[in-house]
Amino acid sequence: MKYAPYSYSKMSTFKCKNKFKLQYVDKIKTPFNKSVAMEIGSFKHFGIEKYLEGSKTFKDDVLNYKFSLVDAEKQKQVFAELSRILKSNTIKFYKQQEKLEIEMGFGLVFDGDKVILGKYSKQSHIRGYIDLMYYDEFTKTAYIIDHKTGKTRQDQDPLQLHIYYLVAMLMYPEAEVIQTQFNFVDNDETVSHTFYPSDFEKIKKIVLDYIDEIENESEFEKSEHYCDYCPFMKSGHCKGIDNDIFAGQDEFKLPWE
């Protein structure tokens, strides 16, 4: 695979093929790849991770977090938001579970008909990190959780769900149910999707077919998606498109949905 190792982020960038080319083929760097919202989201993820790990230095870890875009006044608000999140029913529930896998790095390798789960590495075909995983022996259910900030959304990118499903099935082969959960931490709301072992071959094919589409792309045309927010448009490397149907919106449907 010429663009491996893939990640969910890299693969989802392909929804605008020109953006994929600029970022991963031409390897153009821009100063617009980080925002205040992204920095706040990263901080909340960091705080939740340290809390669930039971870090003995939790308070110092949080207070010494290095912000680069969030000013001092906003930081006070963000610290208060994190405190509220950690007291939420959902986080309390996760804290009670045994054998939590927290911020687990993974690598998927496709070898013929096999899919092999290993560590996060450059040799992986797909790699990434998963916020939280655990297995319930009583219900034989594997749970894979992604913490999200911002407003609750029912429509989730199926690509992310499918990658998570493959990891969970290989991590817990005894599982009879795989449940992916998107934990919208700001609202203490969870959106769940349920899969079964019988879905494995179908989902593996969907993921591989999407990778094949990326690998075989040659035109890299622009797509009608979020031009106003694209770092390459902001930096002058792309003029965008005149009829961006997603301009000013924050929700969308992907082509394969």
Please name every residue paired with 109 in a beta bridge, in sequence order, or none if there are none: 116
- Nearest CA to 230 out of 241, 214, 220, 219 is that of 241
| Predicted model pTM | 0.86
Whether residue 255 is predicted with pLDDT greater than 60 in this model: the reply is no
pLDDT value at position 127?
A: 97
- The pLDDT > 70 percentage for the chain reads 92
Taking each helix axis from N to C end, the angle separating 158-171 and 200-215, rounded to the nearest 10 degrees, works out to: 130
d(CA 87, CA 224): 40
Residue type at position 209: D
When computed from its CA atoms, the radius of gyration of the chain, rounded to whole angstroms, is 19
Whether residue 256 is predicted with pLDDT greater than 50 in this model: the reply is no
Whether residue 147 is predicted with pLDDT greater than 90 in this model: the reply is yes
d(CA 136, CA 194): 14
pLDDT value at position 34?
A: 76
Q: Across the chain, what does the average pLDDT equal?
A: 89
Other C-beta atoms lying within 10 Å of the C-beta of residue 135: 20
Query: What pLDDT digit, counting tens, does each position of 62-119 carry?
Result: 999 999 999 999 999 999 999 999 999 999 999 999 899 999 999 999 999 999 999 9
Other C-beta atoms lying within 10 Å of the C-beta of residue 149: 18
pLDDT value at position 82?
A: 96
- SS3 per-residue string spanning 93-133: HHHHCCCCEEEEEEEEEEECCEEEEECCCCCCCEEEEEEEE
Domain extents for the chain?
A: 26-87, 99-216
Query: What pLDDT digit, counting tens, does each position of 151-179 carry?
Result: 888 877 889 999 999 999 999 999 999 99
